[in-house]
């Protein structure tokens, strides 16, 4: 595990060469882990988010560019990542950067199956307006092949509310209808979280959030099953993965620029960040502590015990361990004895280093990780008082 920057600075500075510690800087701070959070607030050990190069926004006349980590399902050139409903070749038309429903050929679905995701898909109803209600530019985006987000020419078109564009079809109407005119491309950005069941009981109902042309139309809507025509669906489990399906409803609706980003697991399905159960938190904290202690073992250096000491003390923030506690205490006492034995002028040069070490011990004592009478803490505070370093800085 990588040493956080503030610990690296402290460990590298508290040695017996030329002083190199800054006058101020980050140190142990932020509330420690608790029974539902395995990480401290502002935790330097918490994994860094991956770097993603953003894409570009779409315009009605041209698609945008997907972000760098997107998995592209249709780039406007071919249907190699799609198949027919029964597994044969997808028979829709591809031209000019879009695919178009060929009425009567049936739905198409991705060859790849996936679960929780951020999905981007653009669609356009025919420019020539024909029919009304559900007969105008009708299609559908089926998440995991089952939950339908309606595609419909709802521009100046009256139909049942839970069947408009942006509807969680048959379940929840869109909040509004922010549509471009027929023939222009519309943009869906969808965040989908499948329902999670365990032993027949719901652990997380799942949610769908939909933006239509950048406007929120489904606001973290709880899932009530797949939805459907005329019948009320019921909540229930989904598979872990499923294909993305697009509907043939008899209208030559067009689609372009289809991509998705898989989402990390939630705590309810084994994710290890965020608000966790007590059991999951305890397991993750034990894992972090073990990693820190393994790192401490690699930092052993009789000439400079500080890196190993700090790593061991840090491990106690996550999970206690008698051996690690004893070793850290011994290293701290050894180091403080060396400091106290320094000539006055050399010790004076270590003032800021010693103050930072005091702050580490105070943090640990404040959060009950070490007792308030922890011997190294008492010793370093006595040293600071004896040197007059507890006074306001000049």
Residue-wise pLDDT for 127-157, tens only, equals 999 889 999 999 999 999 999 999 999 999 9
Residue 114 token pair: 């996936």
Radius of gyration over every alpha carbon of the chain, rounded to an integer in angstroms: 30
| Gap between the Cα atoms of 154 and 172, Å rounded | 15
pLDDT at 25 over 50: no
With a cut of 90, say whether residue 79 has pLDDT above it. Answer: yes
Task: Determine, yes or no, domain membership for 135.
Answer: yes
Take residue 375 and report the two structure tokens written for it.
């011997």
Provide the CA 13 distance to its chain's centre, in angstroms. 34
Average predicted confidence (pLDDT) for the chain: 91
| Ramachandran angles phi, psi of 122, nearest 5° | -120, 140
One domain for residues 124 and 240: yes
Can you point out the beta strands (E) in the chain? 71-74, 82-84, 93-95, 98-100, 108-110, 117-124, 139-143, 147-151, 186-193, 196-198, 201-204, 207-212, 215-222, 245-246, 254-262
Q: How far apart are CA 177 and CA 216, in angstroms?
A: 10
Average pLDDT over every residue of 37-64? 93
Distance, CA of 161 to CA of 118 (rounded, Å): 25
Query: 102 and 206 in one domain?
Result: yes
Q: What pLDDT, on the 0 to 100 scale, is given for residue 21? A: 36
Instruction: Quote the pLDDT of residue 29.
Output: 80
Measured from the Cβ of residue 189, the count of other Cβ atoms closer than 10 Å reads: 17
State residue 10's pLDDT score. Answer: 47
Asked if 308 and 243 sit in the same domain, the reply is: no
Provide the 10 A C-beta neighbour count for residue 111: 13
Residue 312: name the closest of 304, 91, 299 by CA.
Answer: 299
User: Does residue 118 fall inside a structural domain?
Assistant: yes
Which pLDDT belongs to residue 279?
Answer: 94
pLDDT at 388 over 60: yes
Which of the four pLDDT bands, split at 50, 70 and 90, describes residue 4? very low
Give yes or no: residues 29 and 120 share one domain.
no
Same domain, 224 and 280: no
CA distance 276 to 224: 24
259 and 315 inside one domain: no
Task: Identify the domain containing residue 338 by its residue range.
Answer: 5-47+273-387
Distance, in Å, from the CA atom of 210 to the CA atom of 119, rounded to the nearest integer, reads 9
167 in the same domain as 194: yes
pLDDT at 27: 52
- Boundary-marking domain end, from 238, 269, 300: 269
Is 133 within 8 Å of 122 (Cβ atoms)?
Answer: no
pTM of the predicted model, to two decimals? 0.86
Q: Please report whether residue 392 resides in a domain.
A: no
Q: How many domains does the chain have?
A: 2
Residue % of the chain over a pLDDT of 70: 92
User: Domain check: are 121 and 36 in the same one?
Assistant: no
pLDDT tier at 226, thresholds 50, 70, 90: confident
User: For the chain, what percent of residues have pLDDT higher than 90?
Assistant: 83
Final residue of a structural domain among 223, 244, 269: 269
Of the pLDDT bands very low, low, confident and very high (cuts 50, 70, 90), residue 222 is very high
pLDDT-based confidence at 390, cuts 50/70/90? Answer: confident
The string of pLDDT tens digits covering residues 298-344 is: 999 999 999 999 999 999 999 999 999 999 999 999 999 999 999 99
Helices (H) and strands (E) in the chain, counts: 7, 15
Tell me how far apart the alpha carbons of residues 164 and 151 are, in angstroms, rounded to a whole number.
7
Domain containing residue 155: CATH number = 2.60.120.560
Asked whether residue 61 is assigned to any structural domain, the reply reads no
Judged by DSSP in three states, 378 sits in: helix
- Write down the pLDDT at residue 17: 39
One domain, residues 112 and 260: yes
Place of tokens 């404040």: 366
**Which residue, 244, 269, 294, sits at the end of a domain?**
269
Tell me if 53 is assigned to some domain: no
Q: Specify if 335 maps to a domain.
A: yes
> 282 and 264 in one domain?
no
**Res. 230 pLDDT band, cuts 50 70 90:** confident
How far apart are the C-alpha atoms of 349 and 281, rounded to whole Å?
42
Across the range 85-110, mean pLDDT stands at: 96
Q: Band of the pLDDT at 60, cuts 50, 70, 90? A: confident
Would 280 be classed as within a structural domain? yes
**CA–CA distance, 168 with 226 (Å, rounded to integer):** 9
Task: Please report which helix (H) or strand (E) contains residue 330, including its range.
Answer: helix 322-340
In the structure, what pLDDT confidence band is assigned to residue 393 with cuts at 50, 70 and 90?
Answer: low
Please report, in angstroms and rounded to a whole number, the separation of the first and last CA atoms in the chain.
39
Is residue 66, in this structure, part of any structural domain at all? Answer: no
Determine the pLDDT at residue 76.
Answer: 97
Together in a domain, 93 and 187: yes
SS3 375: helix
d(CA 310, CA 293): 10
Mean pLDDT in residue range 62-75:
97
As a whole number of angstroms, the longest Cα–Cα distance in the chain is: 94
Shared domain for 321 and 182, answered yes or no, is no
Average pLDDT, integer, range 356-366: 94
**The predicted structure's pLDDT at residue 392:** 67
Are residues 211 and 191 in contact, defined by beta-carbon separation less than 8 angstroms?
no
């Amino acid at each position: 595990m990588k040493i956080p920057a503030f610990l690296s600075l402290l460990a590298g500075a508290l040695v017996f060469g030329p002083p190199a510690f800054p006058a101020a800087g980050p140190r142990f701070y932020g509330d420690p882990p608790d029974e539902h959070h395995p990480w401290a607030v502002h935790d330097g050990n918490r994994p860094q988010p991956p770097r993603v190069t953003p894409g570009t926004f779409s315009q009605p006349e041209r698609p945008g560019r997907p972000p760098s980590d997107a998995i592209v399902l249709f780039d406007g050139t071919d249907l190699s990542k799609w198949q027919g409903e029964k597994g044969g070749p997808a028979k829709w038309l591809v031209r000019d950067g879009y695919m178009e429903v060929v009425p009567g050929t049936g739905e198409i679905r991705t060859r790849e199956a996936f679960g929780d995701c951020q999905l981007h898909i653009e669609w356009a109803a025919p420019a020539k307006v024909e029919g009304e209600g559900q007969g105008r530019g009708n299609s559908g985006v089926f998440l995991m092949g089952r939950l339908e987000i309606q595609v419909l020419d709802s521009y100046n078109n009256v139909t049942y509310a839970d069947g408009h564009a942006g509807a969680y079809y048959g379940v929840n109407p869109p909040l509004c209808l922010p549509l471009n005119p027929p023939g222009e491309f519309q943009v869906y950005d969808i965040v989908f979280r499948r329902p999670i069941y365990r032993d027949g009981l719901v652990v997380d109902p799942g949610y769908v959030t939909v933006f239509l042309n950048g406007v929120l139309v489904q606001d973290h809507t709880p899932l009530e099953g797949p939805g459907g025509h005329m019948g009320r669906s019921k909540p229930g489990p989904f598979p872990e993965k499923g294909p993305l399906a697009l509907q043939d409803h008899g209208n030559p609706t067009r689609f372009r620029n289809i991509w998705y980003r898989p989402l990390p697991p939630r705590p309810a399905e084994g994710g290890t960040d965020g608000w966790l159960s007590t059991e999951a938190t305890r397991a993750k904290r034990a894992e972090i502590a073990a990693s820190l202690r393994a790192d401490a073992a690699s930092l052993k250096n009789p000439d400079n015990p500080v890196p190993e000491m700090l790593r061991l003390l840090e491990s106690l923030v996550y999970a206690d361990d008698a051996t690690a506690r004893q070793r850290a205490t011994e290293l701290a006492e050894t180091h403080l004895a060396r400091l106290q034995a320094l000539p006055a002028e050399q010790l004076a040069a270590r003032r800021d280093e010693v103050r930072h070490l005091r702050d580490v011990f105070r943090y640990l004592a404040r959060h009950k990780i070490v007792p308030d009478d922890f011997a190294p803490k008492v010793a370093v505070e006595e040293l600071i008082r004896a040197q007059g370093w507890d006074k306001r800085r000049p």
